[in-house]
Amino acid sequence: MFKIEKDIDIPKFGEFKKGRRKYPWENMKVGDSFLIESYSESRASTVLSAGQKWSNRRGGLIKFSSRKIRDDFRIFRIK
């Protein structure tokens, strides 16, 4: 059952995301990387897709690549 609440202001779009990013795209320089534990082909693809979308919103000049390392994978900024 859902609790109905009254007098709650509607937040602006993106308000909850400010200052909280799932991946560190904006802090990465060329050659930097971060580790994602528990490799799966679909998860690697999802993370790279998120990085590419982030880059495209900023002109598309930043590129990322992933490599499987044992049971994990690592995302690299390559451009």
Instruction: Give a yes or no: residue 35 inside a domain.
Output: yes
State the pTM of this model.
0.68
Specify if 57 maps to a domain.
yes
Q: What is the number of domains present in the chain? A: 1
57 is in which domain, residue-wise?
29-77
d(CA 33, CA 35): 7
Q: Is residue 50 part of a domain?
A: yes
Indicate the pLDDT class of residue 17, thresholds 50, 70 and 90. Answer: low
Quick one: pLDDT band at residue 19, thresholds 50, 70, 90? low
- Of 77, 74, 78, give the one whose Cα is nearest residue 26: 77
- 28-76: per-residue pLDDT in tens? 999 999 988 877 778 888 888 999 999 999 898 999 998 888 888 899 9
